[in-house]
Structure 1
Amino acid sequence: MARIRSLTLQELAERGIDTSPFLADFAELPGSITTLGYRPDILQATLGLWSAVMGAGRVPADLKYMAGYLASMAAGCQYCSAHTASNAASSGATVEKIAAIWDYERSDLFSASERAALSFAVLAGQSPSGVTDQTMAQLAEHFDEEQIVELLSVIALYGFFNRWNDSLATTLEETPRQFGETYLAGQGWSVGNHLA
């Protein structure tokens, strides 16, 4: 059960918050928005960072979301894991690929560059970070510095949301919850403390 009451759409509107930009990437308004809304300035800054990191760039959107999924799982955040996996599917990753993601090192569904990025995501999502010089060297075989910054920005962004949603036990919305129950449960995913 959520530890802070979510603001209603009316309360968000009264605070001058337009929720439509968030619905461009999500089927339902994420619960983190309804709690960040207590501080509209922080919510706006978060939206700016979200747009810069997850918007246009040189790393494919499905790979960003898969990296966010593995980083979130490494951090233990079931809420963000469900969101990132369902968004990866919406961005072009097949459900077969998402279902095989923990076998990324051996599965033919993943390219060498995806393997490097996903290994980086698992290690960077841990606390403390497990990234080593060897990890970076393997990543640099497939990505330039700009792309590496973009990938690490995804992982760091989800680090914020992992802490936010786990600490507040944010209620998981129906679409990512159904995706998690259908495709992620076999990978150790559960809704955890994110029930209504």
Structure 2
Amino acid sequence: MSRITPLTIDELSERGVDVTPFLHDFAELPGSVATLGYRPDILNGTLVLWQAVMGAGSLPDELKYLAGYLASMSAGCQYCSAHTASNAGTVGDSAKVAAVWEYERSPLFTEAERAALRFAQLAGMSPSGVRDEDVDAMKEFYSETEIVELLAVVALYGFFNRWNDSLATHLEPTPFKFANQTIADHGWHIGNHA
């Protein structure tokens, strides 16, 4: 149960929050929106950042969500892990989501994806596990602009990892079902998000 009562769509509307942009990327309104809505200015700033990081750039959406998944699992956030895995499966290949923990060996992943996923997994740790050689491996495949884009994904999810874990945000049905069927064998569990 969420530690702060989530606002309803009507209550968000009364505060001037339009939920339409959030439903573009999610099957249900994310619980974080329903709590960030207590401060519409922070919620709107978060939406602008979300759109800049996840809606723009040159990296494929699937890679961004897989990176967000690995970073969120590294940070221990089951809520964001379920969301990012579910979104990766929606925009890409569910088989890749199921095999992402074998990214170093699985033929489903390219060398470029391996470098990016390793970087994301290490960057999601606290403290960061990224070393010079990890950045050098990224530079073999990605421009510095793309490296910044990927790190922005990890950092964005760092915010949401802390937000959702601290408030025990209730996990919505769509990401719960996907996570339960696809990533539960890799250490995912609903935790305090039931």
TM-score (norm 2): 0.99
Q: How many residues align?
A: 194
Summarize the alignment of residues 22-171 of structure 1 with structure 2, pairs less than 5 Å apart: 22-92=22-92, 94-171=93-170
Match of 1:21 in 2: 21
**Distance (Å, rounded) in 2 between the aligned partners of 1:188 and 1:8:** 32
Offset at 1:24?
A: 0.2
Is residue 2:4 matched to residue 1:4? yes
Q: Quick one: which amino acid aligns to residue 115 of structure 1?
A: R
**Distance (Å, rounded) in 1 between the aligned partners of 2:50 and 2:97:** 22
Q: Quick one: which amino acid aligns to residue 188 of structure 1?
A: G
Q: Quick one: which amino acid aligns to residue 69 of structure 1?
A: Y
Identity over aligned pairs, percent:
65
**Distance (Å, rounded) in 2 between the aligned partners of 1:50 and 1:97:** 23
Match of 2:181 in 1: 182
Q: Quick one: which amino acid aligns to residue 127 of structure 2?
A: P
Q: Which runs of 5+ in 2 are unaligned?
A: none
- SS of structure 2 residue aligned to 1:100: helix
Offset at 1:89?
A: 1.0
**Distance (Å, rounded) in 1 between the aligned partners of 2:182 and 2:78:** 13
Offset at 1:88?
A: 0.5
Offset at 1:97?
A: 1.1
Offset at 1:56?
A: 2.2
Offset at 1:101?
A: 0.5
Runs of 4 or more consecutive aligned structure 1 residues displaced over 4 Å after TM superposition: none
TM-score (norm 1): 0.98
Q: Deviations over 1:46-96 (max 9, x none)?
A: 00000000002110000000000000000000000000001001112x111
